[in-house]
Amino acid sequence: KTDFSECLDLSRDYKGPKATRVDTKGSSSSQEYGGEIWKILPVPGLYVIRGALDMKQQVYWAMTSVSEFSRCEHTNLTNLHGAQPDHWKKAVEEHDVGKGTGFHGLRWASLGYHYDWTKRLYYKNEKSDFPDELAKLASTLAAKVGYQVKSEAAIVNFYPFDASMGGHVDDAELTLSYPIVSVSLGCSA
């Protein structure tokens, strides 16, 4: 049996030594995105914004991810096999995103600075355009917890139903003095 005693469940009225809810009354941050803000106490600078995106915003960003970001120039598929067809369009036309499709093989897309997964590095000379609207989302969410950010790189991860993200460390950024903004969409953890 899995022991979840060390996990934080912020979906309930958590009261304990590991997290505290941040009071946002009188905050001047954008009301475009909502959510409860939780400061995770054992990790300086770590915040969780539960419900930052309403359902309409979640659907918008999920559709943008699969229909636009999946077609960017630097993905795991282009990295291995060169230029790719529009796998999402083909999957929609064929009503199939299953294991036999190219879309099922998509795992990540890099926006802005491209990430080298083998060397765990970003290169200044390998860069594509960074979507303005995504930069605005990241800036707005960072501002909700008191940070300023200029987005220059994003990794959009795509997971089929039978996959999950494993433990990892985000330490390849050129500077660690700016926040990482992470947005999760889809099935609950």
Q: What is the pLDDT of residue 84?
A: 81
Average pLDDT over residues 26-51: 79
Locate 179 and state its tokens. 């926040």
Q: Tell me phi and psi for residue 104, to 5 degrees.
A: -60, -30
**pLDDT, tens digit, for every residue of 89-147?**
888 888 877 776 677 788 888 999 988 888 888 888 989 999 999 999 999 999 999 89
CA dihedral 68, 69, 73, 79 (to 10 degrees): -130
* Entry pTM: 0.83
Whether the Cβ atoms of residue 92 and residue 144 lie closer than 8 Å to each other: no
How many whole angstroms separate alpha carbon 9 and alpha carbon 15?
10
Q: What is the pLDDT of residue 28?
A: 52
How many whole angstroms separate alpha carbon 118 and alpha carbon 150?
26
The CA-based diameter of the chain, rounded to the nearest angstrom, is 52
**pLDDT, tens digit, for every residue of 149-184?**
999 999 998 887 777 777 777 777 767 677 888 888
Q: Tell me phi and psi for residue 116, to 5 degrees.
A: -95, 105
Q: What is the pLDDT of residue 111?
A: 92
Q: What is the pLDDT of residue 31?
A: 58
How many whole angstroms separate alpha carbon 174 and alpha carbon 118?
16
Instruction: Report CA-CA distances (Å) from 144 to 6, 43, 58, 148.
Output: 27, 18, 18, 9
